[in-house]
Structure 1
């Protein structure tokens, strides 16, 4: 592999809320750092990219960041030589000139559609199959997933051991939290909240505020802030704001870079996340979690939610599984979740053990970057 040095191009159209750029940026960095591959990451929205990588210069069309060549994807495409491996992230449409450049190569490139993450059974049957063809260039489906026979999940080398060591080091956690201006009260449970707008939030905050155990709720900048502000009965919430309502402390955090967000998830006792990138990172945290899946037409997202829950709750007792299913489904439907939260708390030690067990089981599979590289090696 090191002798061939195939060039990789990854194309990302930033469609919604940083998940697509989050996934492709992690993948590009890992291919460079762990597989010594030359990688170009084509991004059509550098401003969104800047939120998770502040070093990005949004006014520069070509730059290197952490070993990755970052290229702005222009509205009017200029002729560029096609790479040996081409990844269209999340079914984005490649520029027609670039597709012609792929077809003009003496040896056509490996062209893959890196699809959305799903736990549905059909993914295993479709993973790795040929898709459409453009002239001489064949495209293949590549599905991330949770089961053998899929492409696995993004996981950097040594990630789980670094996470374990961090969670064993109380001082390291305090130092990290203090760096974000977080002063965790003794005995308070720490919860992170990263979600889309959700009408069911108020019932959860009501329960947390009335609880005998104090809660420190950390809310990174994002779409759910409006609902939090409404519950607090304040006009707006800005970074650094701290509000206390009985047992509940709410603190607004800045949008942080990816490695900082990982550490935030590792510090928390419970993580509410959304989309795809933060969903996977919360699983690597090994802590109980709640997923706000992105809503799709005709509620097909609920099929994805149920498929994941079937796998994730498989090892739980019937009562604990019922509590988790109720919590997740109500949350993604925008329904009140206060009672579901109380039901889940009755099974807390079991949910904690299940989260860590699930994390370690997923860690036994090949990671997504390694699976992509192996797919290329098998293809050539």
Structure 2
């Protein structure tokens, strides 16, 4: 019989939470043959990633996944064989009772946030709290052996390789977004939270001797772009040029198209968790704007990742990319570290490809979850 999975997602970071769970749900169905019910409390945010979603429907099917609206007034349903609470969300109490009432106890997992911190390895797979006789387990994505790995669909890196070697395919894709790349211009994608450091970064590129073209999908950073340009109301399709820098606003694209955008660019600035992982699979240098947490806990996560990611770089390249990430996340002046990173662009590009291959040598997150379930039963 087909194993039934329930994945619960509360949308906190606009697109990161639903982005991760939507990718996971699709991959479980497509590659592992399980039945997935994805419970989402905010279908409007989901609609941005999957335009086929009808926010007015409480139940619908998308790409083999049963998508259910998670209502405030919960209606009783039978619990699944595997239950995933994404990012420590609290399950409805009636659903927890349904888990306890099952004849065969379900596997209940908390799929936690991605982190490179050392303690994650020691906690991954451990039992957590119990509800009645139903045991919950920690499941941590991660970058090292002993964690749950990263989301990666079968054949992803080969599809990326073929696309990056096909200049004509890239040109067709970019033109579909209204992008005409100036000969010799370096392409950057920019998806980030609000950031006071943006003006210094843009100023540095604008005064460079080589051309830069920054592609900005609609999002929270757009207000800072408008202030730098001195223009209100920049929408999809709008562009602005100052010196060597062209800035162009793109429409918010669905996940598969966003992958192609990352693959086209020479450098990718990303935010949160979902786009952060996808930028690593692009095999290009990146800049991460981590989700801010109380008491600056997020900065510990940033440093933990930098420690792993920069291993093997020369000292100048390590200082350049680490300094760039730190100043960006502090909203500080970017000029010095951006110039230093540009001087080491070849080394950083090769390092990004090597890091991608290293991460791809481990099992992907969906496969690790399925294996955990099979071992558990």
Q: Same fold (TM over 0.5)?
A: yes
Who is 2:351 aligned against? 354
Shift of 1:293: 0.5
**Matches of 1:174 and 1:152, distance apart in 2:** 33
1:206 aligns with 2:203: yes
Provide the residue aligned with 1:74 in structure 2. Answer: 71
Gaps of 5+ in 1: none
Q: 1:345 aligns with which of 342, 345, 360?
A: 342
Given the alignment of the two structures, is residue 92 of structure 1 paired with residue 89 of structure 2, yes or no?
yes
Deviation at 1:237, TM superposition (A): 1.1
> Matched residue of 1:192: which SS?
strand
What is residue 367 of structure 2 aligned with on the other side? 370
Offset at residue 108 of structure 1 (A):
1.0
- In 1, distance between residues paired with 2:31 and 2:83? 18
Q: Show structure 2 runs of 5+ residues with no match.
A: none
- The corresponding residue for 1:15 is 12
The equivalent residue for 2:235 is: 238
- Of residues 311, 316, 320 in structure 2, which corresponds to 1:319? 316
Q: Does 1:284 pair with 2:290?
A: no
Q: Which residue of 1 aligns with 2:60?
A: 63
Counterpart Cα distance in 2 of 1:195 and 1:294: 9
Is 1:250 aligned to 2:247, yes or no? Answer: yes
Matched, 1:131 2:133: no
What TM-score comes out, normalization by structure 2 length?
A: 0.99
**TM-score, L = length of structure 1:** 0.99
Which of 27, 31, 35 matches 1:34?
31
Q: Give the CA RMSD over aligned residues.
A: 0.5
Superposed displacement of residue 16, structure 1: 1.6
Counterpart of 1:220? Answer: 217
CA distance in structure 1 between the aligned counterparts of 2:129 and 2:77, rounded to whole angstroms? 22
Q: Distance in 2 between matches of 1:100 and 1:39?
A: 20
Aligned-pair CA distance for 1:236: 2.1
Regions of 4+ moved over 3 Å: none
Counterparts of 1:353 and 1:100, CA distance in 2: 52
Alignment of 1:137-286 (within 5 A): 137-286=134-283
1:330 corresponds to 2:327? yes
Matched-pair contact (CA < 8 Å) for 2:13–2:272: no
For the residues of structure 1 that align with 2:376 and 2:297, how far apart are their CA atoms? 33
**Aligned with 1:300: secondary structure?**
helix
Alpha-carbon distance in structure 2 between the residues aligned to 1:336 and 1:266: 27
Question: Could you give the per-residue CA deviations for residues 297-325 of structure 1, whole angstroms, max 9, x where no partner exists?
Answer: 11111110010001110010111101111
1:25 corresponds to: 22
Query: 1:77: Cα distance to partner?
Result: 0.3
Q: Which residue of 1 aligns with 2:102?
A: 105
Per-residue deviation at 1:217? 0.5
Match of 1:116 in 2: 113
